Amino acid sequence: MRVLLIAFRLIWKRKLTNITIVVQIILSIIMLAQLFVFVSDHRSSVRAVSELPVSDTIVVSVFEYYTMEQAARQILATPEVESVGKIYTGTFFYNNVSINLAIYNDAIIKHYFPNLTSGNWLSDNPSVDNNAIPVVVSFDMGLRTGDTVHMSLPNGDAYQVTVVGVLKEPTQYLYPSGSASPEYFSARVIISPESVVIMRDTDLSDTSVFEPALGQPAARNLFVFINGDANAADVEAVTDAWRKYGETTPMTSLIANYVKDTNSLIGGASLMFIVFLSLAATSVLSSYLTQSMRNRRLFTVFYLLGMEWRKGVAIEICRMLILIIITMSLCLIAGASGLLMLQWMTLRSAYTFYGIVLLYITVTFAAIGVRFLVRLVREDISAALKELQQSE
């Protein structure tokens, strides 16, 4: 117990240094959290992008001077085209909260299968009560498969909807607002993370009453699905011809670009983080080392006064453990108070994150602590005594 007491006293004695060390470590952990969120965010976007319909899909970003209907009609007239996917966007109010509304036509529903936590996708023609409209909703809306509720348009029109499926968390679904040209393409353009209600256009008598959500541009993207037996040269030729309606890009190249850009972004951020972390670690290590060296002289004095040499080792281990526990507790507090952005992580990545944090803290303290301990254990006492003969 005296060992523990002395360890606490040693930490208290150099409290300023120790506070600096702990703060530095916590700051780098907050940075680590940011990187972690950034990386897992991008990784989930990459995952969502990989769910997009790719095989023989071409995205046409329609110019403003064509209406979507005109462009769709022209493109559909091409023999190589199997169908044209369209998405109407709008707003629904549910419990007085506005929620994105995405209305998919049959072509989209047939080619696109988002991940669900429960229920069925709209392509399974789920049967519901006569008056209700089958919908798939995002998880965060708190609805369950089978629930039937009322939702309304901004103009007050009420709809009865029945939930047939619930999207997986984090929410990701096809929501084509803005441009899909390769330079601007990001998962955010084509994948939305917001709350959503998805329905089929065939379940609605009139889609013209739906308007894009406030602040969202009208969808300008058509998803053109090519016939499986069309030959590549012909497809290239007709794709060229559509350039007058809008920018055309194969889905595969959009995705490839996106994944490449995301990976280099993650690489860059990680590199920056590693540089910062090594700087922080170097400064932590050097002040911890100085402290340990000063403790060595202290232990020699203690030895003189009747401490066993190996008690010094025990004190040093305790000091290391106490600092690890303090730092880790502060991290848990920081996490609980939202500083570590854990709210953006799934439970599993939050646990992984804490695991990494514990590893980082332990390695940082142990890196010097253990080296110092090994020296202390192997110490030739007469050498330490000789040093004590010199003035401090």
Partner 1 sequence: MLIEMIGIEKVFKTGKVSAVSKILKGIDLTIEKGEMVAVKGSSGAGKSTLLHILGCLDRPTSGIYRLNGVDITNESSSNLSKIRNKRLGFVMQHFALVEDDNVLANVSVPLLFAKTPFSQVDALSMEKLRQLGIDHLAGQKVSKLSGGEKQRVAIARALVNNTDIILADEPTGALDQENSALIMDIFKKLNLLGTTIIIVTHEEFVANACERVITIADGKIA
Ligand X SMILES: Nc1ncnc2c1ncn2[C@@H]1O[C@H](COP(=O)(O)OP(=O)(O)O)[C@@H](O)[C@H]1O
In the complex, the residues that contact partner 1 under the rule CB under 8 A are 2, 6, 13, 298, 300-310, 381-382, 385-386, 388-392
Least distance from C-beta 386 to ligand X, angstroms? 5
The site partner of 299 among partner 1, ligand X, none (C-beta below 5 to 8 Å per kind) is: none
Residue closer to partner 1, measured from CB, 371 or 386: 386
Residue closer to partner 1, measured from CB, 320 or 384: 384
Beta-carbon contacts of 180 under 8 Å, excluding residues fewer than 6 positions away, are 59, 61, 189, 190, 221, 247, 249, 254
Least distance from C-beta 341 to partner 1, angstroms? 40
Residue closer to ligand X, measured from CB, 243 or 386: 386
Both tokens assigned to 229: 């037996």
Least distance from C-beta 20 to partner 1, angstroms? 17
The site partner of 272 among ligand X, partner 1, none (C-beta below 5 to 8 Å per kind) is: none
Residue closer to ligand X, measured from CB, 272 or 383: 383
Both tokens assigned to 217: 């541009």
Least distance from C-beta 304 to ligand X, angstroms? 15
Residue closer to partner 1, measured from CB, 2 or 188: 2
Least distance from C-beta 312 to partner 1, angstroms? 11
Provide the greatest CA pair distance for the chain: 97
The site partner of 392 among ligand X, partner 1, none (C-beta below 5 to 8 Å per kind) is: partner 1
Q: Which residue number is nearest to ligand X in terms of Cβ?
A: 382
- Give the relative orientation of helices 309-336 and 347-378 as an angle to the nearest 10 degrees: 160
The site partner of 308 among ligand X, partner 1, none (C-beta below 5 to 8 Å per kind) is: partner 1
Q: In the range 358-387, which residues lie near ligand X by CB under 6 A?
A: 380, 382-383, 386
Residue closer to partner 1, measured from CB, 3 or 269: 3
Least distance from C-beta 382 to partner 1, angstroms? 5
Residue closer to ligand X, measured from CB, 359 or 383: 383
How many Å apart are CA 138 and CA 174, to the nearest integer? Answer: 12
Least distance from C-beta 304 to partner 1, angstroms? 5
CA-based nearest residue to 35, from 282, 285, 366, 357: 357
Residues engaged in binding ligand X (CB under 6 A): 380, 382-383, 386
